[in-house]
Structures are given as C-alpha cells and as structure tokens.
Amino acid sequence: MKLYEKPLLESFSGSSPLFVQNDFVMFPKTGHMFTITDSNDLLMVKKILDTDQYLTVVLANNDVKPMSKGYPALYEVGTLVYVFDSEVKSSGKIIINVIGLEKVEINEAMHDLPYRTGAMTIIKDVMSSPEITEKKRILDIFSEFLHVSKTDMEASLLNNPLINKEMITNIIASLISIPVHEQQKLLELPDISLRLNVVCQYLEKEIEKEEPSSLLKESLPIPPDWN
C-alpha cells in the first residue's frame, strides 16, 4: 500500500498515542526519522507497531503551567503520522521513519497508560490560490536561497504531479531554522497560501543576508512512493 492511498487514512480509528516533542514541529506531507530511547516512548512505539502504526506528533507548550503528573501542557494542533519503517537496535532503542499524513486538532484522553493518548479531528487546510503559480514562486525563491539553478529545480519539481504546493511549502517550512514556537504558528495557519507567503518572506530576508546554507535543518528524504 502506498503511503497516501485513501485506505490508509480510512483505517485510522480517530485516536492515537501522542508523541510529545520539546524542540520539533512535524508538518503534514513531510518525512522524519526519530530515535526512541525513553522507556515510556518505547512501550508506545512497540504498541503501535503491533497495531495500526499511527502516532500524533505534538509540540509541548512550555509557556503554560504543566498538567497533573508533571506532564507538560501541549499545543492543541499536531500532525498525525504513519510509521512506514522501523528498526530495533541491539541496545534496545528503536529507530522509526514516519510520514506526516494530516494536521489534527487534539483532544487528550485521561488514562492509566504510561504514555499519553488522544482523539484527533483532521483539519483540512484551505487551498485558496493557483497551484502552479505559487508552486513556481516558492521553488524560485528556495533555489535562490540554496544557490542552485532555478531551471533544474523546476524541471524536477514544478511539473511533478506527485509533489504539490502543500508538500513543497511544508517541507521547506520544516527545514528552515526558526524557533519551534514560530514553526508551530506556521503549522496552525489555516491556509496553505498564507503559510507559503510567510515562508517566502523568511527566505527572501535570509537571501539578503547572503548566508542561507547554514539555516537549513536536516530532513529525512521523502520515499519515492509517498503519494
């Protein structure tokens, strides 16, 4: 089954464990690799690997008073992900590779499990502006940011039907090195075009500084069958 076939999302029950992050925001249609070492997280991952392979990645909101049991407060919006690959190391840690499926609103459930869970409501972002025009705009700016040929980048991405404006915008949003609370704001924006505009404005400002290459985070390459 391909990662974005409709049956994959149809098999989602509406709830999942919460994979809480202190310094990382996951975006839909992007990939990431996590190394699991915490004992509670290991139990959580082993459970989902034996069942439906869904997690919800959510950022801890450290500006808010912690909840009961010392749990950090969470932002209400995260990203539902699917674990498409995993490896158990001899040390006991687990490496998982995930793909972001959808942005979700989180309603955390009370429970006695050693990890947190919640019910998810899928949030569909607005796609308000022309696809090709905006796709070309962000690719042109990103190629200038990276000091690579616009022609080469457009040739590989602009007319690729498997890579749309949302994917490109979210991949670049996840790569740029800005504070996590600012990336969370990008995730929560309800309109893809608005997110694209904010990302483009950031890139344009960094281009003026002429030091763009150090401002990218590492990212997991997207599998060729992700769509």
The average pLDDT across 97-109 equals: 95
Q: How many domains would you assign to the chain?
A: 2
Report, as an integer, the average pLDDT of 79-83.
Answer: 96
Does one domain contain both 52 and 82? yes
In single-letter form, the type of residue at position 148 comes to V
What is the C-alpha separation between 31 and 190, in angstroms, rounded?
21
Residues 110 and 137 placed together within one structural domain of the fold: no
Write out the residue range of the structural domain in which residue 30 sits.
6-123
C-alpha distances (whole Å) from 101 to each of 9, 80, 81, 122, 146 are 8, 6, 5, 10, 27
Domain co-membership, 30 together with 109? yes
Residue 162's pLDDT is: 77
**Is the model's pLDDT at 199 over the cut of 80?**
yes
At residue 34, the pLDDT reads 97
Q: Summarize pLDDT for 111-164 with one digit per residue, the tens.
A: 788 999 999 999 999 887 778 889 899 999 998 888 888 777 777 777 777 788
Is it the case that residue 210 has pLDDT exceeding 80? Answer: no
Residue closest to 142 by CA, chosen among 215, 200, 78, 193: 200
Domain termination site, one of 88, 123, 158 = 123
In this prediction the pTM is 0.87
Domain boundary residue, one of 123, 140, 161: 123
Helices 180-188 and 165-175, axial angle in degrees (round to 10): 170
**For range 103-110, the mean pLDDT:** 92
Please give the pLDDT value at position 216. Answer: 57
Whether residue 116 is found in the same domain as residue 165: no
